[in-house]
A and B are shown apart, each in its own frame.
Chain A
């Protein structure tokens, strides 16, 4: 079964600019989603080099979330799970 993929930026800038709680996302996942979602970390994803975008950054199945927070990521995941869009 293919899973929904969440990639959290664990780079320095994303961390200091609000991302420090993101790695704990797994603990906030509803029980029912646990088997559907794959959470990964990434070193600086490079978005922070673009001054127009706002860290911290998270990708859900490739869709970029700016100013990410645990609740924002969960909302986005909900949308993806409902639509059944999954990344290969």
Chain B
């Protein structure tokens, strides 16, 4: 079975008048098991108290699942730990646990939350829910495919608009499913971030701008990994130039070139022109250029060093929109797998003893960027030297 990439995002809006949201969403990728676990918990009531209940529930549910505890036991432990509301005698917090492997094998455990939805492309799937003996916890197992989306939400979403003349029972599943189908039909590649933003936006609209409960929505989007090739530095030997240019041409996905000499080689091999963008410039790094067939062309070492610093501190949105380093970061972060092809030729000009050894810097800065992408931004990065 082919490995998929899971694009995941969530968002929330607290009940009108509250500062804190009583819903909590947690997720964790367990890389060596090729597994992703996500939990949405809705604490009883709203505000701080609900948030604490939901947080405890979500944390426990996440950890029990990671450690492969049987669900009956997990549910019982959660129930024993958290207080039951003394007046209403109803439970502390509801939860939905998604436990999915990157090949698509998926298990969803639900307790008290509105039922999750699954879309195969733009079609809403009907899925059988199996209830445990207590009649409250349900377990659903199914196989996801590429272009499937799982949508989780708290009852703030499904009950939004409740009591309105045109939607007396709130935002019912059929209606909601129809709206989401339409969104996907119009934009088949819509990201988890965009889709959950649209769903939350619609819920708030249903409540006429004043959410009557905490609204939370999470989307898991199973898709083919998006691949990016970043090429920097001229190859060690000149007879590898052709190979490098061909690798870029044949790459399935977007490509970025960082380095003037690298750009010159590619342009020469392809018989294309290089055009430097003189409209936008920042004083600390040289401007970008254009070569037909390459998504982004920047200067090398200065741009990469700046990008590495910005990635490290996460403050790339503070710099100008046209800043070449920010453009590089945008490419990096909008992809899932990033291949780095690093040329190892020593640049004669930069070997002036008064200047630092450029090759070492190049290798180190690429290693640093690759490390940050994996650890901080949960991407996959590979390094190849040429």
Contact = CB atoms under 8 A, between A and B. Distances in A.
Interface of A: 8, 10-13, 15-16, 20-21, 23-24, 26, 39-44, 48-49, 51
Majority DSSP secondary structure for residues of A touching B? mixed
Contacts of A40: 276, 278
Contact of A41 (B278, B301, B348, B350): B278
Nearest to A13: B349
B336 interface: no
Given A12-B286, A15-B286, A20-B284, A49 B349 contact: yes
Interface stretch (B23-31, B222-230, B244-252, B260-268): B260-268
Nearest to A22: B281
A23 B281 contact: yes
Contacts of B281: 23-24
A20 to B, nearest CB: 5
Contact of B286 (A11, A26, A51): A11
A44 B260 contact: yes
Nearest to B301: A12
Interface in B346-384: 348-350, 352
A49 B348 CA distance: 7
Given A10-B276, A49-B349, A20 B283 contact: yes
B302 A41 contact: no
Interface residues of B, number: 23
B285 A15 contact: yes
A39 B276 CA distance: 10
Interface string B256-289: 0000110110000000001011100101111101
Interface of B: 260-261, 263-264, 274, 276-278, 281, 283-287, 289, 299-302, 348-350, 352
B263 A26 contact: no
Contacts, number: 60
A28 B301 CA distance: 28
Contacts of B277: 41
A43 B261 contact: yes
Contacts of A49: 348-349
A49 B352 CA distance: 10
A24 B286 CA distance: 11
Given A12-B302, A23-B281, A42 B276 contact: yes
A16 B276 CA distance: 17
Nearest to B262: A43
A49 B274 CA distance: 20
Most buried by A among B278, B287, B302, B348: B278
Nearest to A26: B278
Most buried by B among A8, A12, A15, A21: A12
B348 A43 contact: no
A16 B302 contact: yes
